[in-house]
Amino acid sequence: MDKKIDDVLKKIEKLEKSQGFGSVPRSTGQFLHMLLLATKTKQVLELGCSLGYSAIWMALAVKENRGHIYTTEIDKQRAHLAKEHFSETKLNDVITLYEKDIFEVLANWNHGEIDFVFIDAKKEDYKKYYEAVLPLLKKGGLIVADDVGKFKEQVKPFLEKVNKDLCVVSQFLDVDDGLMLIYKK
Ligand SMILES: C[S@@+](CC[C@H](N)C(=O)[O-])C[C@H]1O[C@@H](n2cnc3c(N)ncnc32)[C@H](O)[C@@H]1O
């Protein structure tokens, strides 16, 4: 990896350690990066950007795949810092950051079918995000939801819904805070 990009990732890791902005651990970032490369994913939507840490990992893969990542952050201060990080990594040409509420972004979505969604915002709203995003996801697309092990109780309605849904297959991965992988048939 380019040293400048790794420096930005390390800077965000330090901020995470001292102030806790909710960034995924490095190993989850690496996993997302590898998954997007392996699936040759082009069109990514992230729900919950914070300082842009996971978005940078995914943007690295999407750039190689000649695709684009859209991400959302409602908190102005976090969005401002994320934008700085995207400029510093020079990945801003493959990232669009919406400083808006997730539901507003989804309601006005006009970028065609989505290949891959990363859910990492308010845990109690996971079920609503899933229901809103599923019709926008292509058949054969993937959803990865973070924190489903760590916040098991908060995401329970989401997990119950996924388990009942006949149009998807899913698998829990015990990586870091727990990832749910969902494939749309
Ligand atoms: C866990 S952090 C995201 C971390 C990021 N994915 C990473 O690993 O670098 C969740 C973020 O979602 C944002 N968020 C929560 N609800 C939101 C909403 N309705 N619309 C947009 N952003 C939201 C929060 O402000 C917070 O910064």
Residue to mutate (ligand 1; options 73, 78, 99, 116; most atoms within 8 A of CB): 73
- The residue whose CA is least distant from atom 7 of ligand 1 is 23
Q: Ligand 1 pocket check: which of 9, 49, 96 to mutate, most ligand atoms within 8 Å of Cβ? A: 49
Query: Looking at this protein, which amino acid is placed at residue 39?
Result: T
Pairing of strands 95-98, 168-173: unpaired
Which CATH number is 105's domain given? 3.40.50.150
- Average pLDDT across each block of 10 residues of the chain; the chain has 185 residues. List them in order: 96 96 97 98 98 98 98 98 98 97 97 98 98 98 98 98 97 97 98
Ligand 1 center to 7 CA (angstroms): 22
Ligand 1 contacts (CB < 6 A) are: 22-24, 48-51, 53-54, 72-75, 78, 101-102, 120-122
Name the residue range of residue 158's domain.
Answer: 3-184
* Ligand 1 center–CA 80 separation, angstroms: 13
pTM over 0.85: yes
* Ligand 1 center from residue 48 Cα (angstroms): 3
Cβ density class 14-41: b for 16+ within 10 Å, e for less: ebbeeeebbbbbbebbebbbebbeeeeb
Q: How many domains does the chain have?
A: 1
3-class state of residue 121 by DSSP: coil
Query: Can you give 24-45 as a three-state secondary structure string?
Result: CCHHHHHHHHHHHHHCCCCEEE
